[in-house]
A = this chain, B = another copy of it.
């Protein structure tokens, strides 16, 4: 158990804040904890009727390159996570659906971020148009299961939530 002695907002961002907490450890020593204070996010694994997995290819500033990911986004204030999942799927891929199933929730970086990611499976997809934000340039790409496992093996897919979601889906037969 670690006790919060003080908590300071270092920076308020658009989607999350940076905090600096002073913490008392069980051994009575004090340490600083730098924290990403995040409202949580959703990620969606979209699977088409003909068994293809839909990925998006987008430039990620911190990686300095385009990477392949499943669609995802931050939960807006007061938004239900299922609605957020359907919204982000539509915005980023153009696909609509009412058929989403919760797969799991997880912490991405519990050493410094309280972001919880809720992961959904989306099926019965209907094709439509993307609705991208100003700072998004996203292309949509679809892959078969074997092809996508090869991309995980050879390092072409390097995003943790994407690898996790695909492997979770493919190792379960009861969804």
A residues lining the B interface (CB < 8 Å): 1-2, 10-11, 13-16, 18, 20-21, 23, 25-27, 29, 31-36, 59-63, 67, 69, 72, 104-115, 117, 134-135, 137, 149, 152-153, 155, 158-161, 163-164, 167-168, 170-172
Instruction: Tell me, in angstroms, the Cα distance from A27 to B153 when the chains sit together.
Output: 35
Given known pairs A31-B135, A160-B164, the reply for A115 and B104 (CB within 8 Å) is no
Which secondary structure dominates where chain A touches chain B? mixed
A-B residue pairs, 5 tightest by C-beta: A167-B167, A62-B114, A13-B34, A164-B164, A106-B160
Count the copies.
2
| Structural contact, A18 and B21, CB atoms closer than 8 A | no
Closest to A69 in B: B110
CB distance from A113 to the nearest CB of B (A): 6
Check A61 against B23 for contact (C-beta < 8 Å): yes
